[in-house]
Amino acid sequence: MTQEWGERARYWRDRLLVSVRGRATVISVGVTALFLSVILVLGLLLVRDWLENRVARSTESTAEHITFDFLRRGGEGVLTTGSIPTRPGDAPLAQIVSTDSRTVLAASASARGMPPLGYIRRTSGKLVIDEKSCPDFIPGCAWVFGMRARTAPGGQDVIIVAATPLPGLLSVWALPLTLALVLLALLALVAWWTWHTIGRAFTPIDRIRRELADLDARDLDQRVFVPQTHGEIQALGETVNRTLERLEEATDRERRFISDASHDLRNPIAGLQMQLELALEEVDEETRPMIRSALRDTERLNDIVIDLLELSRLDARAPQPVEPVDLAELARREAERRTDGARITTRLEPGVVVRANPVRMVRVLGNLLNNAKRHAESSIEVTVRRDAGMALLQVLDDGHGIPPEQRERVFERFARLTESRERDPQGTGLGLPIAREIAEIYGGSLTIADSAKGACFVMRLPLAEDGGSR
């Protein structure tokens, strides 16, 4: 589980920080976050100032109304009842406070029982309170406006105070929370839009990439999708197709050259081989070793030409007639033909039939047996059976085996491991590649499986419909 999460983390890290789509999204979100943060902060500060000014004007108007009413009545009606009459729409909090700021002489209904909302020191010389205040006895903060009435009726010297709660948006926690929510919503929108837009722009490129990945050396006649975008992506598709066209032409010329050269070389090589065989019977004993060496080289050259000709046919996918082939019977005949060298044992399940070209199947089995004999110490085992709805052919030798890191290399053309060159310097390095090509042509595979000792070559082919159930 930990490894799986680690792989997912690396995948998304590369997706976001390495890919063009991810980097563009991250950069867009980063720049947008910076820009929107400045805009939103400035906007909310402007809104806060506007609301504070509005509340301050409303509070000042309420305080002036109460002061005017207090002076008009001479203070009698207010101070005797202890309640401040307010108009609808006035601030709900209003008080008349003594100048020592300790006694509330009168209060509105919502401000009863509260300590003084504001005070003015006698020594300060101030006549007006106009400030934001956040006392403990009211929720949040409020704007407080008060006026000192020195010439009040009856010789009283009082402070008339009004307070209006500020909107919740201006509280300490609401401002950053609102900013964060708005910012996150906008950033999510920008991220989705950037990712989606760039993804749609890259869709043709992904299609071109997938089509190129599906091509191999035998599908060069295929062409990739060209989007009609009239831009760089269309030019990319057209360039890829022109490159594939040139590559196809070059490959066709190479195949024709190999095929023509192989055909042209077979006759002179066959003539040279026949002359060397005749000369071997007529020369003296001193010259005979040299003739035998030349004959072996001629045979190796003939094998190379035959393998090159077969590879040319396989690469060109030249059609060959197919028919039901009994793998067990084929393996039995090939094993009986090879009486020299390592002992061959068989485990053959009858009725394992595939549809293929018999000559090519003989070639595959012959190449696998020749390779096994080259490396076996004493024995080779050939197995034919059904396995998971497929025909399985297995050739196992008791040699030194092939290291796991070298198992795919042996299927490369002309590739030969050190042990193979030491055991058979005359080999061409084309037998196993040809065998795998033939297996893949008929919808199968040729791989090297793990074994306790030696090398285990496993070929799987689809069972023939008329023979798979027998």
Could you tell me the domains of the chain?
1-214 (3.30.450.20), 248-315 (1.10.287), 323-462 (3.30.565.10)
Give the model's confidence band at 24: pLDDT under 50 very low, under 70 low, under 90 confident, else very high: confident
- Poorest-confidence range of 188-197, 374-383, 420-429? 420-429
Distance in angstroms (rounded) separating the CA atoms of residues 40 and 182? 8
Q: Which residues contact 189 (CB under 8 A, 6 or more apart)?
A: none
Long-range contact pairs involving 284-287 (C-beta distance under 8 Å, separation at least 24): none
> Which of the pair, 460 or 211, is modelled with greater confidence?
460
Residue 417 burial (10 A CB sphere; 0-12, 13-18, 19+):
middle
pTM of the model: 0.51
Q: What number is the average pLDDT over the span 435-464?
A: 89
Residues, the chain:
470
Cβ(154)–Cβ(32) under 8 Å?
Answer: no
- Cα atoms found within 13 Å of the Cα of residue 386, Cβ hemisphere only: 13
pLDDT digits (tens, 9 = 90+) for 55-95: 888 888 887 887 777 777 666 656 666 667 666 655 568 88
Give the model's confidence band at 451: pLDDT under 50 very low, under 70 low, under 90 confident, else very high: confident
> Which of the pair, 393 or 277, is modelled with greater confidence?
393
pLDDT at 303 over 50: yes
Give me the pLDDT at residue 215, please. 73
Give me the pLDDT at residue 14, please. 60
Q: What number is the average pLDDT over the span 317-338?
A: 85
Q: What number is the average pLDDT over the span 271-299?
A: 80
pLDDT digits (tens, 9 = 90+) for 206-260: 788 887 777 765 566 677 778 877 777 788 888 888 888 888 787 777 777 777 7
Give me the pLDDT at residue 468, please. 40
> Which of the pair, 159 or 120, is modelled with greater confidence?
159
Q: How far is CA 437 from CA 57, 261, 277, 278, in A?
A: 91, 21, 34, 37
> Which of the pair, 92 or 288, is modelled with greater confidence?
288
pLDDT at 412 over 90: no
Helix (H, G, I), strand (E, B) or coil at 286: coil
Distance in angstroms (rounded) separating the CA atoms of residues 317 and 313? 6
Mean pLDDT score of the chain, rounded to an integer? 78
- Poorest-confidence range of 29-43, 65-79, 308-322, 329-343? 65-79
> 288-325: string of b/e by CB count within 10 Å (b at 16+)?
eeebeebbeebeebbbbbbbbbbbbbbbeeeeeebeeb
- Poorest-confidence range of 1-10, 127-136, 304-313, 379-388? 1-10
Give me the pLDDT at residue 40, please. 77
Distance in angstroms (rounded) separating the CA atoms of residues 387 and 352? 10
pLDDT at 307 over 80: no
